[in-house]
Amino acid sequence: MSVLVYLNSNNGLHKAALEVVTYGKKLGGEVTVITSGSADAGLLASLGKYGASKVLVDRSLSGEDNQQLTRLIASAAVSTGATTIIFSHDLIAKAVAPRLSVRLKAGLVSGAIDVPAGDGTVKVNVFSGKAFGSVKVNSGVKIISLLPNSFQPEDTGSDCGVEEFNGNAGDAKVKVMSTKKPEGEIPLPEAELVVSAGRGLKGPENWGMVEDLAKALGAATACSRPVADIGWRPHHEHVGQTGVAIRPNLYIAAGISGAIQHLAGVNGSKVIVVINTDPEAPFFKAADYGIVGDAFEVLPRFTEAVKKFRSAGH
């Protein structure tokens, strides 16, 4: 089996990139990584530690045009004889993987959460994470996008070779004039710990409690949709069905009732802790741990307990 892994390396190598390379290695056979942009060769070579046999990089592409990326990956797939192509299940995968599926006449499994079983079926989330499904692809070439934070990276090897690659991707039809990205924050899709809050905090001036707990834990911050809609927090922090879908190891929600749209984006969390004054809040039904109490009292005490625990050397 020959495996091709696409990853976006324009902003360094995030955890999701290491996950998909490790995932590709678990499938067996040689793993080739295809990327574009100006990433440092030494950084790309480090992917060998996670299972890559070599890295192909097309430095003529910025990676901002989805049609170009489709042509690049298709060219790399033909060049390497790849029978399986792996993406991280992000915005790029959602735009490029279906195009690539049509171009290569390849079956597509979107949002995988485990390696294929012995019979070739792949486990996926269905119905917004309320159930699991098994998908089997019978085509000669298969495409799989892996949900972030569903597979642990494994550093078991050594650096690999990095080769320049001409994907003959053609001219870009999209020109990006500018981009605005959050700085100094943990990207939500990759965060293992998340502290979130809703309208129960009563106003943006009270968000310091959330940020203090997040800082003590080394966590990312998030919010419910109403909070983002009324401008208390930036929209990139909105988690839920219409926002960012996350799968952290720990999700702490304060002052969020737990509407079904919110649950759809966070119910992949391994542990959910809910803080709410209303004992009948729907979120408690999905919680692993629940605290019936006022967030204004619970969050500071929670933060203090974390700091005390950390200061004791844990």
What DSSP letter does each residue of 98-158 carry, written as one string? HHHHHHHT-EEEEEE-S---TTSEEEEEETTTTEEEEEE--SSSEEEEEPTTSS-----S-
Q: Are residues 133 and 21 in the same domain?
A: yes
Contacts of 146 (CB under 8 A, 6+ apart): 19, 20, 23, 86, 87, 88, 89, 112, 113
Stretch 66-91: mean pLDDT: 94
Question: What amino acid is encoded at 216 in this protein?
Answer: A
Q: Are residues 205 and 255 in the same domain?
A: yes
Mean pLDDT, the chain, integer: 90
- Quote the number of domains for the chain: 2
Residue 192 covered by a domain: yes
Least reliable range by pLDDT among 34-38, 79-83, 288-292, 298-302: 34-38
| pLDDT confidence tier of residue 172, bands split at 50, 70 and 90 | confident
- pLDDT > 60? residue 267: yes
Q: Are residues 159 and 307 in the same domain?
A: no
Tell me, what's the pLDDT at 268? Answer: 86
Q: Which of 108, 129, 164 is the last residue before a domain boundary?
A: 164
Q: Where does residue 292 rank: exposed (0-12), middle (13-18), buried (19+ CB within 10 A)? A: middle
Q: Are residues 15 and 155 in the same domain?
A: yes
Where residue 6 sits, what CATH number does that domain have?
A: 3.40.50.620
| pLDDT confidence tier of residue 49, bands split at 50, 70 and 90 | very high
Asked if 13 and 47 touch (Cβ cutoff 8 Å), the reply is yes
C-alpha count within 13 angstroms, C-beta hemisphere, residue 168: 6
Tell me, what's the pLDDT at 183? Answer: 61
Q: Are residues 124 and 228 in the same domain?
A: no
Q: Where does residue 293 rank: exposed (0-12), middle (13-18), buried (19+ CB within 10 A)? A: middle
The secondary structure of residue 191, as a DSSP letter, is -
Residue range(s) defining the domain that contains residue 62: 2-164
| pLDDT confidence tier of residue 182, bands split at 50, 70 and 90 | low
Q: Are residues 54 and 146 in the same domain?
A: yes
- pLDDT > 80? residue 163: yes
- This prediction has a pTM of 0.83
Where residue 303 sits, what CATH number does that domain have?
A: 3.40.50.1220
- pLDDT > 70? residue 184: no
Closest C-alpha to 2, from 115, 86, 63: 86
SS3 content of the chain, % helix, strand, coil (to 5): 35, 25, 40
Residue 301 covered by a domain: yes
